[in-house]
Amino acid sequence: MASYDFVLLPPDAFHLTLRDRIADAERWLAEALDVIEELRSPRQRVLVKFRSRNQALNFPVKCEVRCGYGRLLEYCNSESVVIGWPGSGAWECLLHDIPFYSFWDARKYLRNRYVSPAAVRRLHALLHIACDKNSLRENIRHRRVFKPGKGKKDLLHEKGMDLHRIVVEILAGGRSRDT
């Protein structure tokens, strides 16, 4: 499958708060596409990658569209510019040395009790996260993905456990036992 120069991952969680309307997500998408149009050359290819066909129906765009889960890396290479919310797509790209530019205004999500303020602070300590199109444009121009002193190694816990070990720990009531 061919790689794209720019890949945009639209928001799929527009329902996180009552204050976050689909119109906000549409504005986010339009602003991200504006930045891409400013930065790309006429020969560069742009893809908007949706998780589902229904999500794509919410956000009609005039560039190439692909839908589906778990195939993001098929559309990217180390020279691609990927833009989206700092979620699983960000980790997938960054762990494979594909630049991912986070574009997310976390301030409004902090009103949602399901969003951990500590987790948002950890994200902001690790990544440059643009909250508007000007900061997104500057992050891309200056290739600012990670904060100074941070990098790919900081994406994962050094003392992490595999899923099997986590389940064993839970079933053992928090007591470690060998399997």
Digits of tens for pLDDT over the chain (179 positions)?
Answer: 679 999 999 987 555 566 667 778 888 899 999 999 999 999 999 999 998 898 898 888 999 999 988 789 999 999 999 999 888 899 999 999 999 999 988 777 677 777 788 888 888 899 999 999 999 999 999 999 999 999 999 988 777 667 788 788 888 876 554 54
Within-domain flag for 178: no
Q: The domain containing residue 126 runs over which residues?
A: 6-171
Structure tokens at 116: 């951990």
Beta-strand runs (E) in the chain? 6-8, 46-50, 64-67, 81-84, 100-103, 129-130
- What pLDDT does residue 60 have? 86
Q: What is the CATH number of the domain that holds 125?
A: 3.40.50
Within-domain flag for 176: no
Within-domain flag for 1: no
Within-domain flag for 79: yes
Look up the pTM and report it.
0.84
Instruction: Centre a 10 Å sphere on the Cβ of residue 30 and count the other Cβ atoms it contains.
Output: 12
76 phi and psi angles, rounded to 5 deg: -125, 160
Phi-psi region of 86 (alpha: psi -120 to 50; beta: other; left: phi over 0): beta
Within-domain flag for 179: no
Within-domain flag for 177: no
Q: For the chain, what is the domain count?
A: 1
Within-domain flag for 76: yes
